[in-house]
Amino acid sequence: MYTTVNFYDTSVWRSILLTSVLLLSLLAANIIKRRVPFFKNSLIPNSVLGGLLLLIASGICYLVKGDYLFNLDLFSKDGSGINILETLTYHCLAIGFIAMTLRPVGKGSRKDRTREILNSGVSTICTYLLQGIFGIGVTLAAAKILKGFASGSGILLSFGYGQGTGQALNIGKNFDKTLGTSSYASFGLAMAALGFLTASIVGVIYLNYLRRKHKIDPAKESRGADLSADLVQTKDELPMNESVDKLSLQAALVALSYLLAYGMMYLLGNVVLGEGSSLIGTIYGFNFIFGVLAAVIVKGVLNFFRKRDIIHHEYTNTFLMNRISGAAFDIMIVSGICAIQLHVLSGYWLVILLLGIIGAAVTFFYLRFVSKKLFPAYEHEQFLAFFGMLTGTASTGMILLREADPDLKTPVSENLVYQNFPAIILGLPVLLIAGNLTANAGNISNTLLMWGLIILAFIVLNLFLFRSLIFKKKK
């Protein structure tokens, strides 16, 4: 039966109002960052600041109205606003990774830099494992005190600090599904928020320390870079003045890749494993991995058509794909932070703070050691980029790097880009271990077994990482 749509009805405007508030928080954060000296010097990303502003407003709303800001009828139906924010966080993670993967392949790294790039990727995975070791150690102890607490939830330190908001939410939701709770999604998001604060505060303190010691040159006054035509569009790409907007084509390719990723997840989860499988949540939780795989397939098909002269232009554009991924990650971070439900964490604050402090300490000292031993020619720049990335995101690492190396004279930025290839391959076992921990969340014996595997993997990878130093000692 046909129902007339009344455009004055609140339901028509809810999604627009919710999205507008998220985007306005980015605008407000940008103004604060430019006008308030403390925030201007803090290097905290606009998306994190915007998310924290909304989280404060949402917390005040909970105290006054008894529910969170986006659960109000103005933004959602039947108090489903938090679910909408979590859904946005979930999808924006995959969309951001797909857009990054679809970018045209640039010039490869020189052969003499292969070892440093490989070491960067292995260092990233070793840091994930180290965070997991200490994180699970804390939650194993907490499980002895807190009744019903998931002993393996410390792995959220690896995903909150090492991977960021989207993956921390995904793993937290998997814990919630297994245990029938609603607290671990917020637990993971809280860890991610602490990670951003750690990168922004600790990173800036150490950056200023290096400046005072004259170990790095201060960054130049930031100004907008001039964009040449080649940066926006290369000669063999589809012209900008086509009948269809070029940004629409980029969005269409991202959508095609995500639809293909959904097909893969549906086939593997719903068909192969079956609707009742305990692993189906894990399959869909790794949507960004399937998104990357789908984007590689789409890009491969486009390259095949170009070689066969079926299509005559490069359809993907680096500049526009960067804009799509940047917007997706900004919305992901804002949505993820303001989706935190503070009241469900009331019994876990001590555990979260303990995880945050220990995670910051072990990440700092381990990466400091790695950078000094393996990247001596540019150890400070490499450390700042590593620390920012492995407590926040890659963009946080780049922010700290640009302060220490404004002209990107060191090869650190190249390390951050190309280290993703070995890191993804070596990181798959970490994802499988995380999937096992979430599927057996209430089993302490299984947590101890997975903890032992993480420790073993950390030892083996560090033997490989420091192979040159170990070989020299033996010699």
Percent of the chain with pLDDT over 70: 89
Query: For 167-185, what is the mean pLDDT?
Result: 88
Distance CA 373, CA 366 (A): 11
Give yes or no for residue 341 having a pLDDT over 60. Answer: yes
Query: For 1-6, what is the mean pLDDT?
Result: 75
Tell me the CA distances in angstroms from 147 to 351, 355, 391, one per residue in order: 13, 18, 29
Which amino acid is located at 37 in the chain? P
Which amino acid is located at 112 in the chain? D
- Output the CA torsion sign for 289, 293, 298, 303: positive
Residue 244, pLDDT score: 77
Residue 332, pLDDT score: 87
Which range among 126-130, 282-286, 372-376 shows the weakest confidence by mean pLDDT?
Answer: 282-286
Report if residue 433 sits inside a domain: yes
DSSP, collapsed to helix, strand or coil, labels residue 317 as: coil
Report if residue 358 sits inside a domain: yes
At residue 285 the predicted structure's pLDDT band, cuts being 50, 70 and 90, is confident
Higher pLDDT, 402 or 339: 339
Q: Are the beta carbons of 384 and 206 closer than 8 angstroms?
A: yes
Report if residue 133 sits inside a domain: yes
Which amino acid is located at 354 in the chain? L
Give yes or no for residue 45 having a pLDDT over 50. Answer: yes
Report if residue 229 sits inside a domain: no
Which tokens belong to 340?
A: 């935190």
Structural domain that includes position 453: 10-106+113-217+331-474
pLDDT (tens digit, 9 = 90+) per residue, 179-237?
988 889 999 989 988 988 888 889 888 988 888 888 877 554 444 455 555 556 666 66
Give yes or no for residue 365 having a pLDDT over 50. Answer: yes
Report if residue 223 sits inside a domain: no
Query: For 131-154, what is the mean pLDDT?
Result: 92
Residue 115, pLDDT score: 84
Residue 230, pLDDT score: 54
At residue 461 the predicted structure's pLDDT band, cuts being 50, 70 and 90, is very high
Give yes or no for residue 17 having a pLDDT over 90. Answer: yes
Distance CA 95, CA 255 (A): 8
Which range among 42-51, 331-340, 376-385 shows the weakest confidence by mean pLDDT?
Answer: 42-51
78 DSSP assignment: T
Query: Mutual orientation of helices 46-65 and 184-212 as an angle, nearest 10°?
Result: 140
237 DSSP assignment: B
Report if residue 224 sits inside a domain: no
Report if residue 99 sits inside a domain: yes
Residue 435, pLDDT score: 86
From the number of C-beta atoms within 10 Å of its C-beta (0-12, 13-18, 19+), residue 242 rates as: exposed
pLDDT (tens digit, 9 = 90+) per residue, 65-113?
889 999 998 898 888 898 899 899 889 988 988 988 888 765 544 555 6
Report if residue 165 sits inside a domain: yes
Residue 226, pLDDT score: 54
Query: For 453-471, what is the mean pLDDT?
Result: 91
Residue 109, pLDDT score: 47
Residue 472, pLDDT score: 67
Residue 207, pLDDT score: 86
Residue 222, pLDDT score: 46
Instruction: Count the domains in the chain.
Output: 1
DSSP, collapsed to helix, strand or coil, labels residue 314 as: strand
Residue 237 β-bridge partners: 314
Give the number of other CB atoms < 10 A from CB of residue 17: 14
What are phi and psi for residue 345, nearest 5 degrees? -100, 5
Residue 236, pLDDT score: 65
Residue 475, pLDDT score: 46
Give yes or no for residue 470 having a pLDDT over 90. Answer: no
Residue 110, pLDDT score: 54
Q: Are the beta carbons of 46 and 330 closer than 8 angstroms?
A: yes
Query: For 116-120, what is the mean pLDDT?
Result: 88
Tell me the CA distances in angstroms from 21 to 33, 77, 86, 346, 400, one per residue in order: 18, 17, 15, 27, 28
pLDDT (tens digit, 9 = 90+) per residue, 374-424?
999 899 999 998 998 899 877 778 778 877 877 667 888 777 767 777 887
**Average pLDDT over the chain, rounded to whole?**
85
Give yes or no for residue 51 having a pLDDT over 70. Answer: yes
